[in-house]
Each structure stands twice: as C-alpha cells, then as structure tokens.
Amino acid sequence: MKDHTYTQLVNTNGVEVWRCEKPDTIHLAFDICVTRFGMSIAGDIGCLVFRVGSSYGIDFLRHQSDGYLYEKLDDAFRKDREFDSDGFIERVLWAVCDRIYHDVDEDLAPEWAPEEKRRGATAESVKNWLKDQCDLDIHGIEFPFEELADLIDAAENITNTGRDESIAAHDFLNENEELLAVSDTWEWRLNKPAGAVMTRLFYVRHAANAIMAIKDQAAAA
C-alpha cells in the first residue's frame, strides 16, 4: 500500500467517505464510509462493517489493539474463525511446564520451569530437555519424560490428521488430560479470528493513519 492515495469523496451531513487506492489499478483499492450509525469498508480487500460511527470517527480505525477493533465489528464479521495452532501448542507446553515445575525436583528442573520464566520455552526446547532426561537414565524418579515429549510431537501434528483441527485438538486434550495433569480442557478456546479479517483490519488501520495525517496537515495549514 506504499503507493496508495487517499481522496475524500464525501464530507457532508455527518457522512464521510474516503477512497483508498493506488493510481491506475483496483488492487487493494477500497472505500471507507463513516455515518452516524456505523462504518463500512468495501473494495478489493473485501468488506467490513463496524458497529460504531461518526462519534468515533476515522481516528478510531487507527487503534493499535487488534482485539479492540475486532470487538467493534458487526457480529457477522466475527463468526469467521479458524484453528489457533500456535495458541493450542502454547497451552500444551504450559501444562507440560506446570508438571515439570510441580513434580520434578527443583535441582533437576530447567530454568524455564517457573511461570515467570516460561515465555522463553519453545516446543523444541521442552522436548529436547525431556528427551535428555530419558538419556540420563535417572533412577528413582517417576516422571513421564518420554511420554510428554511424544505428546508434544503429537500435538504439533494435529494439523496433519485430516480432521477438523479444532475438534481433533479438543479430542486430543480430552484423551491426555491425565498425562498433562489438567482438567476441563473442553473449556479451552482453540479458535482465533480468521486471518482474512485480521488482514483487512491491518489495511484499514494503515489507511486511517494516512487519512488522519492528511487531516492534521490540513488543520495545521
């Protein structure tokens, strides 16, 4: 969108319309329409409708929180969701780290086991640590090092099962609650907003920043 231009088409009776486009092409071209009761975006990027209008103004579209913009979308645009594979793996890793932190001797536990240091742990680092403990052949410790390493491997392959990923992930969690030492995994939210919707929000935010810069320049003049 670096070559896009922004042209105000309407600014009357509480209605504001801007055209966002690159000259001589409709690629990623779209219009932003603001009325008293809502905002709509339509064009080559697809459509969006927000439940807030001119009292919020185009400046609202610059908000840096994707979650905030998403929550203001009309319900119809929030129904399209997809499996959150990263979030799913993160939840599995968190449960595994919890088991390590609570059930493995403090002298043996890795530095990333405590909750406050856990953000640095990756699937690969946790699996490698678990497998290393198996290789050490530590006697007298009853802990499912190998089983948990295999479980992480299986979680990473959920997308290759050929089933609905969200259903497959919930079934997987339900089957492994005892090993993970967790319960009520059916309550875990494993979906996220569709990528296509979030991409549109990115385009709209970019345009809103450019439009507000134009407005600020005009006001200064």
pLDDT tens readout for residues 126-149 = 999 999 887 665 545 678 999 999
Q: Is the pLDDT of residue 154 over 70?
A: yes
* Domain co-membership, 91 together with 186: yes
Distance between CA atoms of residues 16 and 182, nearest Å: 52
* Domain co-membership, 73 together with 98: no
* Domain co-membership, 47 together with 66: yes
* Domain co-membership, 31 together with 94: no
* Domain co-membership, 135 together with 167: yes
* Domain co-membership, 86 together with 76: no
Distance between CA atoms of residues 64 and 45, nearest Å: 20
pLDDT in tens, 21-53: 999 999 999 999 999 999 999 999 999 999 999
* Domain co-membership, 167 together with 177: yes
Distance between CA atoms of residues 39 and 3, nearest Å: 24
pLDDT in tens, 73-121: 999 999 888 889 989 999 999 999 999 999 888 888 888 888 888 887 8
Please give the pLDDT value at position 115: 86
What tokens does 3 get?
């070559």
- Structure confidence at residue 161 as a pLDDT band (50, 70, 90): low
Contact between 24 and 15 (Cβ < 8 Å): no
* Domain co-membership, 19 together with 116: no
* Domain co-membership, 106 together with 11: no
* Domain co-membership, 15 together with 114: no
- Buried/exposed code over 119-151 (b: 16+ C-beta within 10 A; e: otherwise): eebebeebbebbeebeeeeeeeeebebeebbeb
Distances (CA, A) of 207 to 100, 103, 115, 123, 202: 47, 52, 39, 37, 9
* Domain co-membership, 169 together with 108: yes
Rounded mean pLDDT of 159-178?
Answer: 85
Please give the pLDDT value at position 56: 95
Task: List helix spans (H) across 57-181.
Answer: 66-71, 85-103, 123-136, 145-156, 165-175, 177-180
What's the structural domain count of the chain?
A: 2
- Which residues 6+ apart lie within 8 Å of 181 measured at CB? 95, 98, 99, 102, 103
* Domain co-membership, 54 together with 91: no
Q: What percentage of the chain carries pLDDT values higher than 90?
A: 68
| Cα dihedral 154, 157, 161, 165 sign | positive
Q: Range of 145's domain? A: 82-192
Please give the pLDDT value at position 121: 86
Burial of 79 (0-12, 13-18, 19+ CB in 10 A): exposed
Q: Cα 183 vs. chain centroid, distance in angstroms? A: 24
